[in-house]
Structure 1
Amino acid sequence: MAKKRGLETVRDMVFSLGAVGIVVVLLLLFGRHSEQDPVKPIDYTLKFQQASQVAPYPLLAPEGLAERWRPTSAYFDGTDPDETTWHIGFINPADEYAAVEQGNGTPDDFVKDKGKNGRPVGFVDVAGEQWKSYDGPKYRSLVRVENGVTTMVTGTATYEDLATLAAALRPATPLPGMGPIPAATTAP
């Protein structure tokens, strides 16, 4: 008597799937799980120094933050000298986002854009200076406007962490052998 070919094929398929399933379960149970930090920190130092040479105002970056403040992005946009922007993004020790934002455009528009529509809620003392605080649906922000330049620290971090970041802000020191680029002059 001949074996029925259809039943044998289904049975083989079920056994094959079971064997593959066992291998997958073993890999999940005993496979190596990486405990590495998924955040890839960057070094923004050179970008900061270079942008500071051409920016129309003193750019700021933090000095002395704890190692767990991981910089993740940095850029300078000087396309329009009347609306330049400087940005450094961080993941803080509590794995929250915080950024330094500077611009010389219209302060209200800048704060609304970078602070994700936050509303003013008061003031926070940062190293003896009063910064205006904002709270929004996505971000908290601390803002200071001085000499036509808006400086803000903003993100999902707590106000305390934003104040820590703001207190660490310092202007760039010139690159060795370079001072600020002189303003263009025209001959009389």
Structure 2
Amino acid sequence: MSSTEQSPQASPEATPVKPVIPAAAAKRANASVIGMIMALAVSLLAILPVVLLNAAPKSEPRRPVVDVSSIAANAAGVAGFAPVVPSLPDGYSPNYARWSGAGTDGVSHWDIGYLTPAQQFVSVVQTGTANPTWLNAQVKKAPVTGTRNVAGVDWTLYDKPGIEKSLVATVGGTTVVLSGSAAFSELDEVADAVVTSATHR
């Protein structure tokens, strides 16, 4: 390019146009944005206490308070025997205790459920009118696989892979069935407490 040549002038159409907002309009726009932010902040402050109050507890869920002794005392009048009230170490907690009237099997019974220290389950079922049909249902049709002597009582072990194991014995003139997912150490502990309850009344 020679020195006499000049660069082409940019056309008016190619020059960007910057919009000019009047000061009053800009002030109104800023005021609207600030207002929205303040409204949002107020809404969050109003919701926050509700969220905090309803937040999921970090501690273990509360377990029901079950007064086994009182329920057993009420059941004794219709049971025809003294319902056992096992005294268990810390870590065992009852989650139900009830008297169940006779069903189609003709057997009424005392029933307690415990959560063990290892977070397993053990049920204590006691009746004075056991029959083979009822017992077979209680042990979930599991076969006899042995015996265990606990607290001077011979307990028959019913065990089958994939189902709960059961210990069955005659205690205090009644049939007692212990069933659950707990280890033998915990089942034995419950069995010992059942025998103590039945023989010290």
Normalised to the residue count of structure 2, the TM-score between the two structures is 0.62
Report the Cα distance in structure 1 between the residues aligned to 2:69 and 2:172, rounded to whole angstroms. 25
2:67 equivalent among 43, 55, 59: 43
| 1:59–1:101 distance in 2 versus 1, CA, 3 Å | same
Cα distance, 1:77 vs. partner?
A: 2.5
Cα distance, 1:33 vs. partner?
A: 4.6
Post-superposition Cα deviations, 1:27-57, rounded to whole Å, max 9, x if no partner, equal: 9xxx665212453342222110111233122
Cα distance, 1:114 vs. partner?
A: 2.0
Report the Cα distance in structure 1 between the residues aligned to 2:73 and 2:199, rounded to whole angstroms. 6
Cα distance, 1:147 vs. partner?
A: 7.8
Would you say the 8 A contact 1:140–1:158 is kept in 2? no
Q: Does 1:139 align with 2:164?
A: yes
Q: Which has more helix, going by share of residues?
A: 2
Alignment map for 1:1-188 (pairs within 5 Å): 33-63=57-87, 65-79=88-102, 83-136=107-160, 137-145=162-170, 149-169=174-194, 170-171=197-198
Which residue of structure 2 lines up, in the alignment, with residue 16 of structure 1? none
Would you say the 8 A contact 1:41–1:72 is kept in 2? yes
Would you say the 8 A contact 1:142–1:154 is kept in 2? yes
Please give the secondary structure, in 2, of the residue aligned with 1:39: coil
Residues 162-171 or 108-117, more deviating: 108-117
| 1:51–1:119 distance in 2 versus 1, CA, 3 Å | same
CA RMSD of aligned residues (A): 3.1
| 1:146–1:39 distance in 2 versus 1, CA, 3 Å | closer
Normalised to the residue count of structure 1, the TM-score between the two structures is 0.66
Q: Give the letter for the 2:66 counterpart.
A: I
| 1:147–1:42 distance in 2 versus 1, CA, 3 Å | closer
Identity of aligned residues (%): 24
Q: Which has more strand, going by share of residues?
A: 1
Would you say the 8 A contact 1:47–1:74 is kept in 2? yes
Would you say the 8 A contact 1:59–1:172 is kept in 2? no
Report the Cα distance in structure 2 between the residues aligned to 1:109 and 1:36, rounded to whole angstroms. 39
Please give the secondary structure, in 2, of the residue aligned with 1:83: coil
Q: Give the letter for the 2:97 counterpart.
A: A
Higher-RCO chain (CA-CA 8 Å, sequence separation at least 6)? 1
| 1:91–1:53 distance in 2 versus 1, CA, 3 Å | same
Max Rg structure: 2
